[in-house]
Amino acid sequence: MTFMAALYLLTGLLSTAIASGQVDVFNCNNLGTGCIEKYNLPLDYFYCSCDQNGSSPHLADFYTRDYYHGYQWRGFGPYGTCINLPSLWDRNGGSMKAETLPPTVCCLYTDLNCNTIGHDWTQVNGTGSVGDFIYPYEDGVRSFQCSLWFDESSLCTDQYPILMATVV
């Protein structure tokens, strides 16, 4: 009973610390000026929040846990770069580590001028390394979103507009 109470208290303190920006699990501060980690208490997920401007646009969203619940990592940076992307993705822990299960990242979306209509999703195979799909990003491609599906058998097509949604 004492252990459970201590664990509950510790969890609450950690959530409070993260919510106040004292703990930076996703290294949000490294994403640029005005980037901090926040915690959404009612919905129970963490995310990076950045002041968006023309010189540092939104580059990518990463989601962990099943069906997009839980953690979100949001990358910002100058056009034509991929400097803020984590190297590997862990579906179960939200910790950006290597994942032993089949592809942890299912789909990659690229588009021009953030236009999500009429563009295709690309299947990502292998370990789920972000390095597997950095190559489509180049000058003129304004943003891309890497979305995590429930499992590796999920379909990767433009028939699922929820992939284009962002959670802030």
Q: Which of 144, 46, 128, 47 is nearest to 89 (CA)?
A: 128
Longest Cα separation, the chain: 58
pLDDT digits (tens, 9 = 90+) for 93-104: 333 333 333 333
Q: Which two tokens stand for residue 125?
A: 């195979």
Contact 112, 142 (CB under 8 A): yes
pLDDT tops 70 at residue 59: no
pLDDT of residue 39: 74
- Sign of torsion, CA 157 139 26 164? negative
Contact 76, 50 (CB under 8 A): yes
Give the separation between CA 148 and CA 4, rounded to whole angstroms. 32
DSSP label of 15: H
pTM score, whole prediction: 0.29
At 52, is the pLDDT very low, low, confident or very high (cuts 50, 70, 90)?
A: low
DSSP label of 10: H
Strand arrangement, sheet containing 121-123: 121-123, 107-112, 141-147
At 50, is the pLDDT very low, low, confident or very high (cuts 50, 70, 90)?
A: low
Tokens 């959404």 correspond to what residue? Answer: 40
pLDDT of residue 38: 73
